């Protein structure tokens, strides 16, 4: 996935969670420089290695690894699609 596509996807997911009353944060927990020997600091490229997603609602927070966050999205998608297709089957009876 291109970086722009990934950013757009995260914006969509964040807006969806906001519509459910959650706030979402993405925190990089470990990173490195792609070219650490570059003498000009402005030319060094910072690359994230590890990150977490933090969902907060009602004063409570939960931290998700990228794998856990992807599973959360997959399960939400499966639930929505399951309900949708159940309605389609009922309509076509």
Whether this prediction's pTM lies above 0.85 is answered by no
| Domain span holding position 60 | 3-91
Dist CA 22 CA 20 (whole Å): 6
User: How many CA atoms within 13 Å lie on the side-chain side of 13?
Assistant: 19
pLDDT band at 46 (very low <50, low <70, confident <90, very high): confident
Contact 67, 45 (CB under 8 A): no
Number of domains composing the chain: 1
The answer to whether residue 1 scores a pLDDT higher than 60 is no
């Amino acid at each position: 996935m291109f970086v722009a596509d990934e950013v757009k996807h995260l914006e969509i997911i964040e807006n969806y969670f906001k519509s459910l009353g959650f706030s979402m944060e993405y925190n990089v927990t470990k990173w490195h420089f792609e070219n650490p020997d570059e003498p000009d600091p402005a030319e060094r490229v910072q690359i994230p290695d590890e990150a977490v997603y933090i969902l907060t609602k009602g004063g409570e927070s939960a931290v998700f690894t990228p794998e856990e966050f992807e599973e959360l999205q997959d399960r939400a998608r499966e639930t929505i699609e399951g309900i949708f297709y159940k309605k389609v089957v009922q309509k076509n009876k």
